[in-house]
Structure 1
Amino acid sequence: MICIATGAAAQEPVTLQGQAQGTYYIIKFIATGHDTAMLHEDIRDIFQDIDRSLSLYHSGSLINRFNKGPKVVMDDHMRAVVKKAQEVSKLTDGSFDITVKPLVDLWGFGVTPHKNGRPSAEAIRRTLRVVGYQNLIIRAKYLIKKKDGVEIDCNGIAQGFTSDVLGRFLQSRGIRDFLVDVGGELVASGVNARGLPWSVGIERPPAAGNVEEPVQAILQLRDRAVATSGNYRRFFDDGGTRFAHTIDPKTGEALHNNIITVTVTAPDAITADAYDNALILLGVEKGLQFVQQHPKLKLEAYYIFKDAEGRITERHSPNFFAAP
């Protein structure tokens, strides 16, 4: 879980907040002479524009039109998200895959949730036939599916994308110092009102001792983004096992490993948001190894997990807490 840390400041930043995309948003920025009411109206328009493209809850959205038919003409939002998703899918060998939607629906975590418990092995096997990023073709302005039944779900990347879009909007208005938070996917630019990097709190267990309540770790962000994926928001218990809403596109299984959360920092929020999904499925060892093996991505990762004895512990890449 991520939250914006607070503290004494030389001046209070402007704060805009509300509800969108099924979650909250909080935007803080340092600027004077701006019509904040007009800015907020423009921001609401941006959310609506992205929803018309990528929201599964918007009946006439581009994504729903694609899911119902063989192809769709993409707008700029869909093109950017799908291209990024395909790039991440290839690099992670399919650990991140937006064609996972049929599996998400099967497990009861989709637009129309259900509580039918764990699907049968046969149902998973059958559904896997239409899952796989290789089933998508990007041809000029078109997104095309290779077979009937292929559907996409961009919820694992869309909020990070939205944070980036909002950040670019603020920059277009001459605002350079800001922190955008859309449902826990954050992008930071410049400095806060004290002239320091933006402070973001991450809940974690203490490094030593037997205190069970989490304490706050403070992450300093400047011209960087952060996203978190975990098993604490949407899940169900079946047969003594907790199944979380993150679905492995390769096996069809819902997440049920020992990881509580993984937090990822990256140069932009769409990257952080996509890779936090992949890294939680890869697990601690393979995930940290992936970060080390792909330095050009400029990723850092922080895991909270239960060890073999059931104790909550943590590991992170060497530069996760490095000062910006």
Structure 2
Amino acid sequence: MKGLFFFIGICISVSTSAQKLVSFQGKAQGTYYIVKYVSDDTISLREDVEDLFKDIDRSLSLYLPSSLINRFNKGPKVVMDHHMLTVVRKAQEVSKITDGLFDITIKPLVDLWGFGVVRHEGQPSRQDITRKLRLVDYKLLTVRAKYLIKKREGMEIDCNGIAQGYTSDVVARLLHARGIHNFLVDVGGELVASGVNTQGLPWSVGIERPPGTDSSSKPVQALLRLKNKAVATSGNYQRFFDEGGTRFAHTIDPRTGQALHNNIISVTVTAPDAMTADAFDNALIILGVDAGLQFISEHPKLKLQAFYVYKDAAGKISEKYSPDFFAE
């Protein structure tokens, strides 16, 4: 659900042959979804997939007034279902590893900057940022059995930076449970690839420079071949506002309360699962190119790889990526 409001620059290319390729797409969670799989049975699983979206929305959608997440945000605690419990536990794990660079308690700041459910533009005052920062700290959340408990009144959570990747993983598990092991799932740009396409090759995913970022040069193009791997992208080129000569993007740094205004255009992250890729792309875009790539090298057990598109000191669009980003 991170991509509720924007498409993040990943396009899909799928080979076809005499084998049966089942494909369907639609809209869910405020974005698009695409499911492609190779199967002996051409019966579509669209209805089952869309039922999953509705189930996850009842848990984690900020746009559904009766959702569990909104019930928690209005009160001191909530009894979580398995969707919310899985996402919150993973979020807390990533927060600890990144020393709070990823933090689902960021919602008060997201709302303050106008990137939440209610949209507005304008840089908030330093005083307002400081006041909201008191409510942002993943350590002030407690998970006790199925309960999620806040330790400070006024705290609210926003799982949009991780839940969309989780949704892709849930759809992937559904396909595996139905005996389908060659597929590509894309929920708003968070993808899970399993097995091979109809030609027996890994699924191909193209990464392109966002349009209009640098008309003087050729677009960045990179082809990823994904087999049993997930990919997510965090970009700062569609949700933003300009003020005083500065472009403020939707990514908020939980440490400072500031909306991101660095030189990063996007970071694409691969990981063993989409929830992991989705969560860490937030931290990696805040860290920036060099620190982000260093973080990846220092945490090999996470099996993360990243591809950055950014503006260098001269304002030229450049890219840099970790050594094994293109490895299958």
Q: Normalized against structure 1, the TM-score is what?
A: 0.95
Q: Which residue of 2 aligns with 1:235?
A: 240
CA contact (8 A) 1:160 1:273 kept: yes
1:297 pairs, out of 302, 312, 320, with: 302
1:156 pairs, out of 137, 161, 180, with: 161
CA contact (8 A) 1:259 1:303 kept: yes
1:13 Cα deviation after fit: 1.8
1:32 Cα deviation after fit: 1.9
2:189 pairs, out of 177, 180, 184, with: 184
| Within-5 A mapping of 1:1-324 | 1-7=9-15, 9-11=17-19, 13-36=21-44, 39-115=45-121, 117-204=122-209, 212-322=217-327, 324=328
Amino acid aligned to 1:49 = D
CA contact (8 A) 1:204 1:217 kept: no
Amino acid aligned to 1:78 = M
1:34 Cα deviation after fit: 4.5
1:213 Cα deviation after fit: 3.6
CA contact (8 A) 1:179 1:186 kept: yes
CA contact (8 A) 1:56 1:111 kept: yes
CA contact (8 A) 1:27 1:181 kept: yes
1:145 Cα deviation after fit: 0.1
Identity %: 70
Q: Return the alpha-carbon distance in structure 2 between the equivalents of residues 266 and 229 of structure 1.
A: 14
CA contact (8 A) 2:184 2:193 kept: yes
1:5 Cα deviation after fit: 1.6
1:125 Cα deviation after fit: 0.4
Name the count of aligned residue pairs.
316
Amino acid aligned to 2:206 = G
Q: Return the alpha-carbon distance in structure 2 between the equivalents of residues 173 and 189 of structure 1.
A: 14
Q: Return the alpha-carbon distance in structure 2 between the equivalents of residues 34 and 73 of structure 1.
A: 39
Q: Which runs of 5+ in 1 are unaligned?
A: none
Q: Which runs of 5+ in 2 are unaligned?
A: 1-8
Q: Return the alpha-carbon distance in structure 2 between the equivalents of residues 46 and 35 of structure 1.
A: 17
Q: Return the alpha-carbon distance in structure 1 between the equivalents of residues 175 and 39 of structure 2.
A: 10
Over the residues paired in the alignment, what is the CA RMSD in angstroms? 1.3
1:10 Cα deviation after fit: 4.3
SS at match of 2:118: coil
SS at match of 2:179: coil
Structure 1, residues 47-84: CA drift from partner, whole Å, max 9, x if none?
00000000000010000000000000000000000000
Q: Return the alpha-carbon distance in structure 2 between the equivalents of residues 6 and 141 of structure 1.
A: 41
1:16 Cα deviation after fit: 1.2
Q: Return the alpha-carbon distance in structure 2 between the equivalents of residues 169 and 69 of structure 1.
A: 33
1:215 Cα deviation after fit: 4.2
CA contact (8 A) 1:54 1:62 kept: yes
